Amino acid sequence: MDHTAALAAYDLQMRQSAVGEGDGTRIERTGGVVRATGAAHDWNGVLWADMDSATADAVIAEQVRHFTDAGREFEWKLHSYDRPADLAERLLAAGFEAEPTETLMVAEADTLPPGPGLPDGVRLLTVTDAAGARLMAEAHLAAFGEDDAQLSERLARRVLDRLTQAPDEIVAVVAMAGDRPVCGARIELRPGTDFAGLWGGGTAPRWRGKGIYRATVAHRARIAAERGYRYLQVDASDDSRPILDRLGFSTLCTTTPYVYRP
């Protein structure tokens, strides 16, 4: 894979030329900034900003005003190659909070190996309705704990919105151990781009190390390849990065979410 070409395509298609998620999110391009504004449970944030050391502070202040006036918590997703070089320090000084750094990893969808079989007693359930979205939220809680209860509820609402408004742009599955959800994963398909995004995949502690996450990656890779998407893109945690590396994903950069809470 040509890393330079993949990163250039990612920048152009997923950041500078981003499209909204469903009917409730609008993409705005103003003053060199590309941002997404939606309902409280949607992802709200800055995708791209063309600025330098002379303009950065004013641009940051304008985004804070915009999202605060809308009553929205929002995220500035800082990529390791973004400019100016001290952007992280400027965001912290403006009142943002840094969340754990992730690794942007990409693979060509049709090159990944087939995944392992699921453990005995585990099956993948395709999410199609509100009941399935609730199972995804339960799987998220099982993986990450009660501290993420609010995030789990927002996730369920976002998934249900996408399934209702743009069903061709998302496939979500829940790994079920009997009647218990133990892992939730989804693929988000962006028409007109080369990229399909893999999200979720957190697995309940007692079910880790059994191949469930790898099986969901392979399942989603097949979907992306069948629908003509070239790249799979993952914002990988420290837990998933070594697995993805062994599967053939390559690192493009790191990303750090900076969150502003009004």
pLDDT digits (tens, 9 = 90+) for 8-43: 999 999 999 998 776 678 999 999 999 999 999 899
pTM: 0.92
Q: ∠240-134-26 over CA atoms, to 5°? A: 75
Q: What is the dihedral of CA 6, 7, 12, 16, to 10 degrees?
A: 150
Per-residue pLDDT of the chain (262 residues; tens, 9 = 90+): 899 999 999 999 999 999 877 667 899 999 999 999 999 989 999 999 999 999 999 999 999 999 999 999 999 999 999 999 999 999 999 999 999 999 999 999 999 998 889 999 999 999 999 999 999 999 999 998 866 677 788 888 989 999 999 999 999 999 999 999 999 999 999 999 999 999 999 999 999 999 999 999 999 999 999 999 999 999 999 989 999 999 999 999 999 999 999 8
Query: Would you say 34 and 48 are in contact if contact means Cβ atoms under 8 Å apart?
Result: yes
By three-state DSSP, how is residue 148 classified?
helix
Between CA 215 and CA 176 the distance in angstroms is 13
Q: What is the dihedral of CA 67, 10, 93, 85, to 10 degrees?
A: -150
